[in-house]
Structure 1
Amino acid sequence: MLLQEEQYVVNWLSQYGALPRAQVVRMLQKPVRTAEKILRNLLRQGKIEDISGGYYVGLDAMCKPDQRTILAVWVLLKFIKQVEPMAHYPAVYPSQIFFLKENVGYEIVVLYEGEQSQLRLLQPQDDLKYIIVLPHISMAENLRLPNVPCLFATVDFQGGEEPQILFYSEENIHERISGSA
């Protein structure tokens, strides 16, 4: 029988597919050595596999990482201390992840260049907020936003294992874009 944290890891990998080892370690919210021990135990039991030389972990060696999901998980990790381990899961397209934080639902939507029209597919609800992840914040000025609160994020890999994530509100987008023009 798996320990609770081991069950979490298996569940997350079954939901999201292969994830970077660093993300799984952070999601466990344990000291790094403890989290690595949990992963080693799962590897030894054959419940998870190393992928790409151990950079990723997945349920099996053929599991392919999904880059949109990985970006969404990096954003989720900024809120992970306020989110229960099982209170996040894949969302309905075009969103990647849904999570509950303080009884409010959030959906993380990762858009690439030229995908602005995908926001029309969202089904906004009164008790839902969106976090829209963009390759660069200037892309926000061309978006037609749903009529619910939206927050924007950029994920910037600067050579480290973990990216820098910057958040912007709707109000501060316009200031930032007009200030940089």
Structure 2
Amino acid sequence: MLLQDEQYVVKWLSQYGALPKTQITRMLQKPAQTADKILRNLKKQMRIADVSSGYYIGLDAMDKPDQRTILAVWVLLKFIDYVDPMAHYPAVYPSQLFFLKENTGYEIVVLYEGEQNLLKLLQPQEDLKYIIVLPRISMAYGMRLPHAPCLFATVDFQGDEEPGVTFYSEEAVSDDEISGHVG
């Protein structure tokens, strides 16, 4: 029988595929030593395996990390203190991830260059907000947004183990006030 935290790790990896070890450690919300012990126990039980020399962890050593999902998880981690460990899961395309925070649903949509038209596929619902992750915030100009509250984010890897995530309000983008970002 797996312990509660071990069950969380197995569930997350079954939902999202291989994830960076750093993300799993952060999602556990435990001290690094405790998280390492949880992961060691799961490896010993052959429930999880190192992927790409241990940078990623998956259910199987052959798991392929999905970069869109990984970007979405970095954004999720900015809210992790307010999200129950089982209150996030894969979303319906073109979104990558759905999570509940204070009875409001959020979908994280990761778009690459030239994919702005994918927003037309979103199905806005009451009490649902979107976080649109872009490679650079200038992509947001002129974007046709769904009829739902939207927040923009960029994930900036500066060589650190954990990237910086910057949030921008819909108003800041539409008012050309990129310097007025939040987060």
**If the TM-score is normalised by the length of the shorter chain, which range does it land in?**
over 0.9
Deviation, structure 1 residue 126: 1.5
Aligned partners of 2:73 and 2:3: how far apart in 1?
Answer: 23
**Equivalence for 1:170:** 170
Aligned partners of 1:30 and 1:45: how far apart in 2?
Answer: 21
1:153 aligns with 2:153: yes
Deviations 1:90-148 (A, max 9, x none): 00000000000000000000000000000000000121000000000000013100011
User: What is the DSSP-based 3-state SS (H/G/I as helix, E as strand, rest coil) of the residue aligned with 1:54?
Assistant: coil
Aligned partners of 1:57 and 1:138: how far apart in 2?
Answer: 33
Alignment of 1:83-94 (within 5 A): 83-94=83-94
Alignment of 1:28-47 (within 5 A): 28-47=28-47
Aligned partners of 1:126 and 1:21: how far apart in 2?
Answer: 35
| Native 8 Å contact 1:87 1:100 kept in 2 | yes
Deviation, structure 1 residue 177: 4.7
Which runs of 5 or more residues in structure 1 are unaligned? Answer: none
**Equivalence for 2:19:** 19
Comparing both structures, which one devotes a greater share of its residues to helix?
1
Question: Given the two structures, how large is their TM-score scaled by the length of structure 1?
Answer: 0.97
1:100 aligns with 2:89: no
Alignment of 1:39-58 (within 5 A): 39-58=39-58
| Native 8 Å contact 1:141 1:177 kept in 2 | no
| Native 8 Å contact 1:89 1:99 kept in 2 | yes
Which runs of 5 or more residues in structure 2 are unaligned? Answer: none
Cα RMSD (Å) = 1.2
Aligned partners of 2:82 and 2:25: how far apart in 1?
Answer: 16
| Native 8 Å contact 1:116 1:142 kept in 2 | no
**Residue-pair matches, total:** 179
Aligned partners of 2:86 and 2:127: how far apart in 1?
Answer: 19
**Equivalence for 1:5:** 5
- Specify whether residues 178 and 160 from structure 1 end up closer, same or farther in structure 2 by C-alpha distance, changes over 3 A only: closer
1:64 aligns with 2:64: yes
Q: Which letter does structure 2 place at the counterpart of 1:159?
A: G
Aligned partners of 1:157 and 1:114: how far apart in 2?
Answer: 21
| Native 8 Å contact 1:72 1:108 kept in 2 | yes
% same residue? 77
